[in-house]
């Protein structure tokens, strides 16, 4: 098989996985990342699934689960007073994003990654894909992989009608050192995948390693609080203390003090005490709008593939962003190997294998988020969405991969 020249746009989880697997398949791979340097320190907690472990081993980074994350035995739901009203056994490994990123970064040659490379335009010349960057650099490739996230420049070039759609609610997120939490809070939610379900909202928490590299012996608590928000009010929430309007989220430390104060007051008023403790003690919470993205094709133009969030963004309830991205990359490598490097045939096979699954993950996220979204709509829709809010529903389906035939 003739080695392909592959340009991967985006150097996060999807891009690094694709680069590693394609290089192992004998292809000449270069990664172009717009950030000035490595991304370690970004992200918070991730839920792992069997697919993630399988792909990680293929990348040359087989690790024991205990070396990547924190183990929990099950799930529980707390009522407003902090009483446990439901429990379910469901062992899972909950990891830090930084540790996974570093493992993937270390398995590839550092010289293959170019930082500070912002894609400007894509064109075709015969069978080649031409990419031009903002600094004037021009490269040609047999295959260009768009792994550049939910605001993908690659997708915008080849599928301009596809854009993020606001789902009608936001998420407050925080990571708090478990050691600073009251003992009662640690006992209640510090070693479980825990939920609280105030009317019209949802908050969940789970432990992750104490440090981004996963080497610390302690734990942090990763918290996500979903709150319905009218689109008209979104602009004010996403305008930071310096007056800058952000498209998706505000970085830690930039949220207006009055918005933070209002959030903490609401937490004390409506959340179970352990969750209110976490939101009160979180030094650097951040805020993000919840979005849906769904593409009609993961091979939208000759010689171009879309992976991970560049192709499909499911709401965080699904807990599959990293796993889905890595499985997309593995499927692309497998399809090219099966077609002996025939780019057109390989991309067709890749799209046929992964696009239906991506669509099913997005649909699962919409189902799990239906209750929050319904709060801004009519009474009939709110009533219909109640079934997605029950303790049994959130414990059974949150961050669990969808299977064929699943219906909530």
Q: Which residue matches tokens 């219909």?
A: 384
In angstroms, the CA 157 to CA 287 distance is: 28
* pTM: predicted TM-score of the whole model, two decimal places: 0.90
CATH number at residue 150: 3.50.50.60
Residue 262: partners with Cβ closer than 8 Å, 6 or more residues away: none
Q: What per-residue confidence (pLDDT) applies to 374?
A: 76
The reported pLDDT for the residue numbered 127 is: 92
- Residue 140: CB atoms within 10 A of its CB come to 14
38 in any annotated domain: yes
Residue 59 is assigned to a structural domain of this protein: no
| CA dihedral for 401, 102, 155, 344, sign (positive or negative) | negative
Give the three-class secondary structure for 384. helix
Please state the φ and ψ torsions of residue 287, each to the nearest 5 degrees. -130, 135
Q: What CATH number corresponds to the domain at position 252?
A: 3.30.9.60
Same domain (yes/no): 279, 215: yes
Residue ranges of the alpha helices (H) in 61-182? 65-68, 97-106, 153-158
Per-residue pLDDT tens listing for the chain (408 residues): 789 999 999 999 999 999 999 999 999 999 999 998 888 655 567 899 999 999 999 998 877 777 788 899 899 999 999 999 999 999 999 988 888 898 999 887 778 899 999 999 999 999 999 999 999 999 999 999 999 999 999 999 999 999 899 999 999 999 899 999 999 999 999 999 999 999 889 999 999 887 665 555 568 899 999 999 998 899 999 999 899 998 888 877 889 999 999 999 999 999 999 999 999 999 889 899 999 999 999 999 999 999 999 999 999 999 999 999 999 999 999 999 999 999 999 999 999 999 999 999 999 998 888 888 777 666 666 666 666 667 887 888 787 877 655 555
Strands 5-9 and 143-146: parallel
- What are the distances in angstroms from CA 106 to CA 53, 89, 95, 216? 16, 35, 17, 19
Residue 269, classified by CB atoms within 10 Å of its CB into exposed (0-12), middle (13-18) or buried (19+), is exposed
Clarify whether residues 283 and 347 are in a common domain.
no
143 and 240 share a domain? no
Find the domain containing 338 and state its range.
5-44+98-164+292-367
Taking the C-alpha atoms of residue 29 and residue 109, their distance in angstroms, rounded to an integer, is 10
Domain total of the chain? 2
Residue 317 has a pLDDT of: 92
Same domain for 324 and 231 = no
If asked whether residues 170 and 30 sit together in one domain, one would say no
Q: What are phi and psi of 349, to 5 degrees?
A: -65, -40
229/241 same-domain check: yes
User: Distances from the Cα of 88 to the Cαs of 76, 84, 203, 397, in angstroms?
Assistant: 6, 11, 17, 12
Query: Do 76 and 189 fall within a single domain?
Result: yes
Considering the domain architecture, whether residues 78 and 139 belong to the same structural domain is answered as no
> Does 171 share its domain with 224?
yes
80 and 129 part of one domain: no
- DSSP secondary structure letters along 6-35: EEEE--SHHHHHHHHHHHHTT-EEEEEESS
Distance CA 187, CA 194 (A): 11
Predicted local confidence at residue 143, as pLDDT: 98
Provide the terminal-to-terminal Cα distance of the chain, rounded to the nearest Å. Answer: 45
Sequence-distant (≥ 6) Cβ neighbours of residue 392 within 8 angstroms: 86, 88
């Amino acid at each position: 098989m003739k080695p392909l020249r592959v340009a991967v746009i985006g150097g996060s989880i999807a891009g690094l996985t694709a680069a590693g697997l394609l290089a192992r398949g004998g292809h000449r791979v270069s990664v172009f990342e717009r950030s000035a340097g490595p991304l370690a320190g970004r992200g918070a907690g991730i839920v792992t699934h069997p697919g993630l472990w399988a792909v990680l081993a293929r990348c040359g980074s087989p690790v024991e689960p205990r070396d990547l994350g924190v183990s929990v035995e099950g799930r529980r739901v707390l009522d407003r007073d902090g009483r446990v009203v439901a429990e379910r056994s469901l062992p899972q490994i909950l990891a830090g994003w930084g540790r996974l990123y570093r493992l993937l970064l270390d398995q590839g040659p550092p010289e293959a990654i170019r930082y500070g490379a912002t894609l400007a335009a894509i064109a075709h010349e015969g069978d080649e894909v031409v990419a031009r960057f903002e600094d004037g650099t021009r490269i040609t490739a047999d295959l260009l992989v768009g792994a550049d996230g939910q605001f993908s420049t690659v997708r915008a070039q080849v599928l301009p009608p596809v854009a993020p759609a606001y789902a009608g609610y936001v998420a407050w997120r925080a990571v708090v050192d478990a050691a600073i939490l009251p003992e009662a809070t640690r006992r209640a939610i510090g070693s479980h995948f825990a939920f609280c379900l105030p009317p019209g909202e949802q908050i969940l928490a789970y432990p992750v390693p104490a440090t981004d590299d996963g080497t610390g012996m302690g734990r942090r608590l990763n918290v996500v609080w979903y709150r319905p928000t009218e689109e008209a009010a979104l602009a004010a929430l996403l305008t930071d203390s310096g007056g800058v309007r952000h498209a998706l989220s505000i970085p830690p430390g930039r949220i207006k003090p009055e918005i933070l104060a209002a959030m903490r007051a609401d937490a004390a008023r409506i959340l179970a005490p352990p969750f209110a403790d976490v939101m009160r003690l979180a030094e650097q919470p951040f805020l993000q709008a919840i979005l849906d993205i769904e593409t009609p094709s993961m091979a939208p133009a000759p010689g171009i593939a879309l992976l991970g969030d560049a192709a499909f963004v499911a709401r965080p309830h699904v807990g599959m962003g990293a796993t889905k991205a890595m499985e997309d990359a593995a499927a692309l490598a497998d399809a090219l190997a099966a077609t002996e490097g025939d780019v057109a045939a390989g991309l067709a096979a890749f799209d046929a294998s992964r696009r239906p699954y991506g669509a099913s993950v997005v649909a699962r996220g919409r189902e799990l988020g239906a209750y929050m979204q319904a709060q801004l709509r009519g009474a009939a829709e709110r009533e219909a969405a109640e079934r997605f809010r029950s303790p049994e529903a959130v414990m059974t389906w949150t961050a669990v991969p969808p299977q064929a035939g699943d219906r909530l």
